[in-house]
Structure 1
């Protein structure tokens, strides 16, 4: 029997509803700012079309969120030194810290995404999977531990395009082993997955095994990121929602307002009505133009004059209409404010507030919506990165995947202690932190070394050096003054007047 699919969700192993991917397809159009044409009738009643003069607020908002959630200063450390060195070597070779922020932007816009580590020529590589490529095999679980991953390739064959789709199924067997199935499909149409063909039909998949079974694994070999919040579009779906899914009408209102304002500016150019005789062109004789009757009064290049026929008493009249920029600005601010609320950003992110642009200190002290939203996203980011670390360590234990047949690491991947420092510089009020930590030192609940490391960005060795120099400079009887008062200069200056 020939295996043939129209849609990937037609495969019986995939139980998630196809309309979830229709929703993701709409989100992709908004993220690309591919919103089609605007149809209208001109002054003669003829149907016309033009590009929508839109603002890509989906891209802007996703970019803003990803930049405040994650940055390249993030560090991942593992208490197991060998595992720490191996994992960070993988991150460095794959430019993970720079790539993650960019891929996180896509995941926020579309509702989710995944990272899959794999072995290639003896090295572990990272494959980035967007929401439209990731298909959970079970839709009734909070944790996704089985999935199909789709990769599309377009090639030219005999002068026409052929579309290939590789489906990679990750499943658990009853005996606890981990089973990966690779299937390749070919179609002449981009709208159909097509018929299953041998894996070596494409050069890039030659040597790829149709089936691989791995033993000893406890976690899936992929790490999924889901945007925070419930999926109110389909309650039984484990997939997250993108920025567009609950904000589509607001985004449409923003784009319509901006489009209308653009055309008001275009149609609001200066227009003057003049008698037709004033614009009568001259007659041409040979290569020379000779004025006939009355010469043109205005420059030929001007496009702001309109002829008026049949009115002998017609005078030059200015028909220019004022542009309603204040009204459009108020309407735009209103819809942008609604968009900020809808996606969980503070007022003033895209619009100006009465108090102006907020500082990082104000963001923290006001417990702003952006700060809360960031915390929700960070929970999911933390979960994905830790799952990725575990998946990488799981791969390193599978010696059979490497050319020399030797495992790179041995241990319990799920038992390692993983710490992620997100470098919260933007959302950390350094002055408040310094004051609170000084009080903690005074109360005796924070060591001096930790105070120095936390507030002066010192490593442990540098902090020890600072403390040694401090002890050398201060009299022996004042050596505990910093511990007791949190004041590096000692007791003599405390309360001095």
Structure 2
């Protein structure tokens, strides 16, 4: 009751201007971040969604005055993030733990959280936004996983790119006011501390003033202190791309962070490609009296404009053109030039985002990707492997956090040491032709058995390879005449003679 009164008093003081609101989260104690990073994240988010107002809102003049339209886009930000995510993590990836108890516990947690599906989605968000966080928590005696995008995670303390203190801001609205829930994860004198706070903003832009937590989250405690933990209860994932925006920041950057100019050029070319058909359609030159005239409000002079929505050009007073003459004008469309320009930009974009040249192509109807078969020496495969190294480390940290929470709440009796191995899907990087030729040469040189070669090329088990080999031998036997039968026939022919 007393706290509610204080809160009401604060609200009144803010209204009459005697108490100033906190303008930003950075105005709070212990938070020191580079705001440019979070401004960039907002740009990456907008491009990933396919609409960034500074690029895609196009202003132009018509006979009816200024107009605005939305530029068409290929949305390569979404395409590149999705493609890299599917290469790095898919349903064929396996997480193995050498301890059966821990393995069963982690599998049950992942299953009840639908981990594989959600993780694939958030890996894509990670490549687009520059990072993401998975945060385990306990609800109804079960460990749940909270997936957090890059814009809802602010690091506070880190060491060698390992973040161990952070704050998670979450905005929500009630009636006409905006509220911000801050969840702090801190270390104090060897204790792990989780604090929850809620701030109310009067104008919707500032962080505002602190209000009672119980009013919005009655089941949350304002502060929880945990003893015995060795690591933070969250895992941060980011692309393996060096941060050249803030060299001191532990945060990651989007895979297309250094390709923004190219992204804009691609959308400009793609928009121009579609406008080519609209503005380049057949038109007719007509006498001036057949075209609309508008009065300039400044000079009072009559002006005539070419309006892209009109079907006619104005016939200006030039040459000996008859006043009643109509001329058909057919404009040559630059289709091939546009397609060539878009593909040249796509190759540049692929190089800037870690893909091999030719990964993305535009044929005039749709955008296609060519990552079905990738050489192990290609740029795409090398980028894939570099991202996997970072993701594997973060997955190990996540599993350690889940196990630590399980031990804390008595859900599991886990050993102090266990090994986590992540097997990513590398089948997409197989060059089948080269692999077959290599195995054939090894068999011919006596350095590889046929069974092992079948296992390697076809990706089958030893038993399946043995069965395939037996079938091959049987087929060869049926196709080749029996040696004894040939000898018998030879002897018979000799007797007849």
Counterpart Cα distance in 1 of 2:446 and 2:144 = 49
Moved more, 127-136 or 146-155: 146-155
Q: What's the counterpart of residue 41 of structure 2?
A: 24
Within 5 Å, give how 1:142-291 maps onto structure 2.
142-156=161-175, 160=176, 162-174=177-189, 176-202=190-216, 205-274=217-286
Moved more, 261-270 or 164-173: 261-270
Matched residue SS, 1:137: strand
Describe the shift of the 1:74–1:187 C-alpha distance in structure 2 as closer, same or farther (beyond 3 A).
same
Q: Is the 8 A contact 2:43 2:52 kept in 1?
A: no
Q: Is the 8 A contact 1:140 1:237 kept in 2?
A: no
Return the TM-score normalized by structure 2: 0.76
Q: What's the counterpart of residue 35 of structure 1?
A: 52
Matched residue SS, 2:262: helix
Moved more, 100-109 or 428-437: 428-437
Q: What's the counterpart of residue 116 of structure 1?
A: 135
1:230 deviation in Å?
1.7
Matched residue SS, 1:351: strand
Describe the shift of the 1:436–1:189 C-alpha distance in structure 2 as closer, same or farther (beyond 3 A).
farther
Moved more, 427-436 or 78-87: 427-436
Q: What's the counterpart of residue 292 of structure 1?
A: none
1:15 deviation in Å?
2.0
Q: What's the counterpart of residue 487 of structure 2?
A: none
In structure 1, runs of 5+ residues without a counterpart are 280-301, 400-406, 474-486, 493-497
Moved more, 325-334 or 111-120: 325-334
1:147 deviation in Å?
1.0
Describe the shift of the 1:108–1:16 C-alpha distance in structure 2 as closer, same or farther (beyond 3 A).
same
Within 5 Å, give how 1:412-423 maps onto structure 2.
412=415, 415-423=417-425
Counterpart Cα distance in 2 of 1:465 and 1:332 = 47
Q: Is the 8 A contact 2:256 2:352 kept in 1?
A: no
Counterpart Cα distance in 2 of 1:338 and 1:456 = 35
Matched, 1:14 2:31: yes
Moved more, 214-223 or 311-320: 311-320
Matched, 1:364 2:381: no
Matched residue SS, 2:276: helix
Counterpart Cα distance in 2 of 1:364 and 1:427 = 6
Describe the shift of the 1:17–1:120 C-alpha distance in structure 2 as closer, same or farther (beyond 3 A).
same
Q: Deviations over 1:103-144 (max 9, x none)?
A: 111110111111001111111111111111111102664211
Counterpart Cα distance in 2 of 1:148 and 1:177 = 16
Describe the shift of the 1:309–1:58 C-alpha distance in structure 2 as closer, same or farther (beyond 3 A).
closer
1:338 deviation in Å?
1.4
Q: Is the 8 A contact 1:74 1:97 kept in 2?
A: no
Matched residue SS, 1:115: strand
Counterpart Cα distance in 1 of 2:148 and 2:42 = 15
Q: What's the counterpart of residue 132 of structure 1?
A: 151
Moved more, 429-438 or 66-75: 429-438
Counterpart Cα distance in 2 of 1:137 and 1:234 = 15
Counterpart Cα distance in 1 of 2:457 and 2:203 = 58
Counterpart Cα distance in 1 of 2:275 and 2:448 = 64
Return the TM-score normalized by structure 1: 0.76
Q: Is the 8 A contact 2:102 2:414 kept in 1?
A: no
Q: Is the 8 A contact 1:154 1:163 kept in 2?
A: yes
Counterpart Cα distance in 2 of 1:270 and 1:141 = 63
Counterpart Cα distance in 2 of 1:369 and 1:167 = 41
Matched, 1:103 2:122: yes
Q: How many residues align?
A: 431
Q: Deviations over 1:403-451 (max 9, x none)?
A: xxxx0112345x21112122322123467668878969x99999x9999
Q: Is the 8 A contact 2:74 2:267 kept in 1?
A: yes
Matched, 1:380 2:397: no
Q: What's the counterpart of residue 75 of structure 1?
A: 94
Structural RMSD (CA) = 3.8
1:342 deviation in Å?
0.8
Counterpart Cα distance in 1 of 2:457 and 2:167 = 44
Q: What's the counterpart of residue 340 of structure 1?
A: 350
1:189 deviation in Å?
3.8
Matched residue SS, 1:34: coil
Q: Deviations over 1:242-261 (max 9, x none)?
A: 13421111111111222223
1:4 deviation in Å?
4.9
Counterpart Cα distance in 1 of 2:113 and 2:22 = 34
1:238 deviation in Å?
0.6
Counterpart Cα distance in 1 of 2:250 and 2:69 = 39
Matched residue SS, 1:364: coil
1:149 deviation in Å?
1.2
Describe the shift of the 1:464–1:38 C-alpha distance in structure 2 as closer, same or farther (beyond 3 A).
closer
Describe the shift of the 1:141–1:466 C-alpha distance in structure 2 as closer, same or farther (beyond 3 A).
closer
In structure 2, runs of 5+ residues without a counterpart are 1-5, 11-19, 292-308, 478-497
